[in-house]
Amino acid sequence: MSLRKKNSPEPALIDRTSFRVRFSEVDSMKIVWHGSYVKYCEDGRESFGKTYGLGYLDVYAQGYAIPLVNLTLDYKNPLIYGDEAIVETRFIDTEAAKIQFEYRIYRLSDNLLIAEAKSTQVFLTQNFELELNPPAFFIEWKKKTGIIA
């Protein structure tokens, strides 16, 4: 049984947050070190959580942890020290007991696409057991945000 509304498009929950490339994030060639993009995705998830009420502490207060189990990154163009950029974080709905996001990172000065990424997080109980069904609070959050009827 699908939880999506019939004949209606899935609502897009998107958050945008900006950042400036810091010296500690670049390599000896003065471009952002590839590992720094993982942090930018994390910044996007944190900002999304604050905007939509699905932050790490919100989830933890419900008795769950949501560790990252998969992250893929596609690098398109480099950022350099001092660049300003935006992380666009989009929630991807699934009926499974997981949280998925897609990310796009753009350089602010020219709106150039810098990187695209996808991540998956799963729900673990306080005993670190994998939750196989979406927790009730998560289903309620989806209803509140209009993702499901």
Residue 4 lies inside a defined structural domain of this protein: no
Domain count, the chain: 1
H helices present in the chain, as ranges: 36-52, 56-61, 136-145
Residue 110 lies inside a defined structural domain of this protein: yes
Mean pLDDT of 113-137: 97
Residue 2 lies inside a defined structural domain of this protein: no
pLDDT at 10: 54
Indicate if the pLDDT at residue 2 is higher than 90: no
Residue 5 lies inside a defined structural domain of this protein: no
Residue 96 lies inside a defined structural domain of this protein: yes
pLDDT at 149: 80
Taking the C-alpha atoms of residue 113 and residue 94, their distance in angstroms, rounded to an integer, is: 26
Residue 9 lies inside a defined structural domain of this protein: no
Residue 139 has phi, psi (to 5 degrees) of -65, -45
Residue 82 lies inside a defined structural domain of this protein: yes
Domain CATH for 104? 3.10.129.10
Taking the C-alpha atoms of residue 47 and residue 39, their distance in angstroms, rounded to an integer, is: 12
Residue 57 lies inside a defined structural domain of this protein: yes
Please give the C-alpha separations between residue 134 and each of 23, 101, 123, 129, in angstroms, as whole numbers: 41, 16, 8, 13
> Tens digits of per-residue pLDDT, 10-23?
558 999 999 999 99
Query: Could you list the residue range(s) of the whole structural domain that residue 67 is in?
Result: 14-144
**Greatest pairwise CA separation for the chain in angstroms:** 53
Indicate if the pLDDT at residue 7 is higher than 70: no
pTM for the structure as a whole = 0.90
Indicate if the pLDDT at residue 8 is higher than 70: no
What is the share, in percent, of the chain residues with pLDDT greater than 90?
91
The tally of CA atoms less than 13 A away on the side-chain side of residue 24 is: 1
